[in-house]
Amino acid sequence: MHMKPLFIFSLPRSGSTLLQYILAAHSKISTVSEPWILLPFVYALKEEGSYSEFVHKAMVRAFSDFCEELPNGRKDYFDELSVFALRLYSKACQCESEYFLDKTPRYHLIVEEIIKMFPNGKFIFLWRNPLSIVASMMKSWAGGKWKLYSTKIDLYNGLLNLTDSFSRHNRRCIAIRYEDLIVNTENECRKICSYLEIPYSSTIIEDYKKVNRKGKKGDQFGFNEYQSLSDKSLEKWKFTLNNPIRVLFARRYLNWIGEKRLCLMGYELNELLGTLNNIPVCMRFVFSDIYRIIGGLGYSFLEPVIIRDKLKLLPNIWKIHAHR
């Protein structure tokens, strides 16, 4: 198969959809909205992180036993999984394409496995100001209200996975900042094309607006804003993280990420903290945020979505089962 896999690794709300559209405008790159195909197959060997009707942990143990009987153990499984994925990617490719681009935001959960699985793959790490990501999550997914308890897996586990993997494999990867992509689009696109060893085409910066990306997944909220590239989006987070509760969270989050990880991503801790401290603070949403933070603790521990699904089975109580 002449086609090579190309992955964008990022947190949700990092501008990955914009980058995907720009790259999809290149004749050598094919893509669909968000495949997600590798997640369940990698999680087949992960005991934690998945609920199922068939007891996920038991399945993982049985599957692990099976893999131990293979000549090369788990390596044989992941080798076959990569072949399987490449065949599917090839079927979704246009004939002249050299790359199939898989942009699945929650691949941050399995980034290490993917990099090891595809020795000939190409990997773009897309970073964005963490405060912009937090604000965009609140604005796009919760109408500006506090709902960060539902995205902790992204903000914490995801960021750790991405920075750790990039640190290990930076010689095989390329890093792009969203801010640079917006402000200096041509330069960043040239860097990516050079990394992919394909000719740069100046038309992709305009033609990305015409791309018909197949599939329903992806950023349905922000793409209309990308019809014209503007640096106005870089300052929007200041109008969302502008009450005492949110400023406190943002400050704690930046300190949790730490100077070393932020530097790896291309940001300065003191600079971000300084900008945060200079934001005019208002009291909008303060009481709502406190209420939602307390509610979020209950949401995290009680998992109401699962309880809701169980309640739907009443009065057929014999159908209610325990998730694992």
Residues 173-212: tens digit of each pLDDT:
999 999 999 999 999 999 999 999 999 998 998 888 878 7
Distances (CA, A) of 252 to 48, 131, 189, 211, 269: 27, 11, 34, 40, 11
Q: Is the pLDDT of residue 149 over 70?
A: yes
What region, left, alpha or beta, does residue 13 occupy, with left being phi > 0 and alpha being psi -120 to 50 degrees?
A: left
Report residue 64 as tokens: 């692990």
Residues 5-17: tens digit of each pLDDT:
999 999 999 999 9
Give me the residues paired with residue 29 across strands.
99
Tell how far CA 124 is from the center of its chain: 12
For residue 315, say if its preceding peptide bond is cis, omega within 30 degrees of 0: yes
Q: Is the pLDDT of residue 68 over 60?
A: yes
What SS3 state is found at 255? helix
Q: How far is the C-alpha of 162 from the C-alpha of 272, rounded, in Å? A: 20
Q: How far is the C-alpha of 31 from the C-alpha of 295, rounded, in Å? A: 39
Report residue 270 as tokens: 């003191």
What SS3 state is found at 199? coil
| Cα Rg of the chain (Å, integer) | 21
Residues 261-283: tens digit of each pLDDT:
999 999 999 999 999 999 999 99
Sorted by where each starts, the structural domains of the chain and their CATH numbers stand as 4-35+92-284 (3.40.50.300)
Q: What is the H or E stretch that residue 211 is in?
A: none
Q: How far is the C-alpha of 11 from the C-alpha of 133, rounded, in Å? A: 8
Amino acid 218: pLDDT: 60
Question: Are residues 67 and 74 in contact, defined by beta-carbon separation less than 8 angstroms?
Answer: yes
Which DSSP string do the residues of 47-109 spell out, in sequence order? SSS---TT-HHHHHHHHHHHHHTSTTTHHHHHHHHHHHHHHHHHHTS-TT-SEEEEE-GGGGG
Q: What is the H or E stretch that residue 123 is in?
A: strand 122-127
Question: Are residues 44 and 59 in contact, defined by beta-carbon separation less than 8 angstroms?
Answer: yes
Length of the chain: 324
Confidence category of residue 140, pLDDT binned at 50, 70, 90: very high
Return the DSSP state at 229: -
Amino acid 315: pLDDT: 76
At position 74, the amino acid (one-letter code) is R
Own/partner pairs for 47-50, CB < 8 Å, 24+ apart?
Answer: 49/109
Residues 16-52: tens digit of each pLDDT:
999 999 999 999 999 998 999 999 999 999 998 888 8
What SS3 state is found at 127? strand
Q: What is the H or E stretch that residue 268 is in?
A: none
Q: How far is the C-alpha of 16 from the C-alpha of 19, rounded, in Å? A: 5
